[in-house]
């Protein structure tokens, strides 16, 4: 029988940044970790062949030192470019040299930015519009939000011709006139809303989209005490049909506030990870892991982190980076067994096999 060791994740490294970290992200190939902080820096960290992490370059323009606050980092799918979003602009940096390639003045209400798969454009999402930006020329193609609505979040779709947009009623709209939240599929080329459907008002984040056998799937975070969910999305004409494939629940009865981030990791996005706290006002103190295809709960780890990143690399150990203040923790673990193997092992009378070694 397979049993989970109580210390499945082990802290393999502790690093220190010079400012309070606001965001971090591993590159798609797992070779790089990018962090940004509340002061004026974004930092590139290199992951070597032994999965040790070391500082590589500090990304900063001297004229902006102590002036801007970095809020987000985002890697291009080909690992060549790093996007940093500050409260004043969006910058694109070359990974290998750490040199600044381009800068775009940004609105202060930008919610999120992400790359399209073509590695030529990124998407900047603000309250009133979703902007498609050519990172080499800074040419912007805006997609305006319908009157009376505002953008909550956006996410890449199944191809570079579309994006998913999560809309909610504008705060200035009278309560009696507010419509439900809406999930919209937008065609980038002609800036037309192809299809849309109402969604629960609690929906706050669309964390991932994927396609398998012609069906679209979404990982959705509602916030509060609601469990993260995997949605199955079918598009027919101008209609979107959403069904809950399964939710990611805990095995015990304790109430946890799922605050995110909500991440996937492992080969073919096998695992789902989400952080939680005791209540919505508390800081994150636990990380939960599930099998994505089945929703099967695998493990809870006590990790005190305000910011997290999970390496999407399909090889090597699973790597988790956590940050609280200026301190960074690098956590590694052996890979989990296949869900079928784990389930079969529960009824086995064989001696237990520990994934990380027997308890000490």
> What pLDDT, in 10s, does the model give residues 238-277?
778 888 888 999 887 778 888 877 877 666 677 888 888 8
**Which of 82, 30, 39 minimizes the C-alpha distance to 64?**
39
**Which of 68, 61, 66 minimizes the C-alpha distance to 102?**
61
> What pLDDT, in 10s, does the model give residues 272-309?
888 888 877 777 788 888 888 888 888 888 887 788 88
User: Which pTM value belongs to this model?
Assistant: 0.82
Q: Helices then strands (H, E): number in the chain?
A: 1, 30
> What pLDDT, in 10s, does the model give residues 162-196?
888 888 888 777 777 777 788 888 888 888 888 88
How many C-beta neighbours within 10 Å does residue 326 have? 15
Which burial class, exposed, middle or buried, applies to 333 when counting CB atoms under 10 A from its CB (0-12, 13-18, 19+)?
A: buried
Token pair 């492992």: residue: 266
How many C-beta neighbours within 10 Å does residue 324 have? 16
Question: With contact defined as beta carbons under 8 Å apart, do 113 and 126 qualify?
Answer: no
Q: Is the pLDDT of residue 351 over 50?
A: no
> What pLDDT, in 10s, does the model give residues 192-228?
888 888 888 777 777 666 666 667 788 888 877 888 9
Question: With contact defined as beta carbons under 8 Å apart, do 15 and 326 qualify?
Answer: no
- Cis amide bond preceding 170, omega within 30: no
Q: Is the dihedral of CA 32, 24, 81, 185 positive or negative?
A: positive
């Amino acid at each position: 029988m397979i049993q989970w060791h109580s210390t499945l994740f082990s802290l393999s490294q502790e690093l220190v940044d010079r400012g309070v970290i606001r965001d971090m992200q591993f590159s798609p190939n797992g070779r790089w970790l990018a962090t940004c902080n509340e002061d004026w820096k974004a930092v590139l960290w290199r992951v070597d062949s032994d999965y040790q992490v070391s500082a590589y370059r500090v990304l900063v323009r001297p004229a902006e030192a102590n002036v801007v606050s970095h809020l987000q980092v985002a890697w291009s799918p080909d690992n060549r470019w790093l996007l940093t979003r500050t409260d004043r602009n969006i910058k694109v940096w070359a990974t290998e040299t750490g040199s600044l390639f381009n800068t775009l003045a940004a609105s202060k209400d930008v919610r999120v930015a992400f790359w399209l798969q073509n590695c030529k454009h990124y998407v900047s999402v603000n309250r009133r519009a979703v902007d498609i930006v050519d990172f080499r020329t800074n040419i912007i193609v805006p997609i305006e939000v319908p009157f009376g609505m505002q953008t909550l979040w956006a996410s890449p779709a199944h191809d570079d011709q579309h994006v998913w947009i999560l809309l909610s009623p504008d705060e200035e709209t009278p309560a009696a006139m507010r419509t439900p939240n809406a999930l919209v599929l937008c065609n980038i080329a002609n800036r037309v809303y192809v299809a849309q459907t109402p969604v629960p008002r609690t929906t706050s984040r669309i964390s991932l989209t994927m396609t398998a056998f012609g069906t679209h799937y979404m990982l959705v975070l509602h916030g509060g005490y609601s469990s993260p969910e995997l949605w199955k999305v079918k598009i027919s004409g101008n209609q979107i049909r959403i069904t809950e494939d399964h939710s990611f629940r805990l095995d015990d009865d304790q109430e946890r506030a799922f605050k995110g981030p909500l991440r996937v990791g492992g080969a073919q996005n096998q695992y789902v990870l989400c952080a939680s706290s005791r209540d919505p006002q508390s800081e994150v103190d636990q990380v939960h892991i599930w099998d994505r295809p089945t929703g099967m709960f695998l493990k809870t780890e006590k990790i005190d982190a305000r910011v997290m990143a999970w390496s999407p690399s399909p090889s090597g150990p699973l790597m988790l980076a956590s940050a609280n203040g200026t301190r960074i923790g690098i956590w590694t673990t052996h890979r989990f067994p296949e869900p079928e193997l784990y389930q079969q092992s529960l009824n086995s009378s064989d001696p237990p096999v520990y994934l990380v070694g027997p308890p000490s």
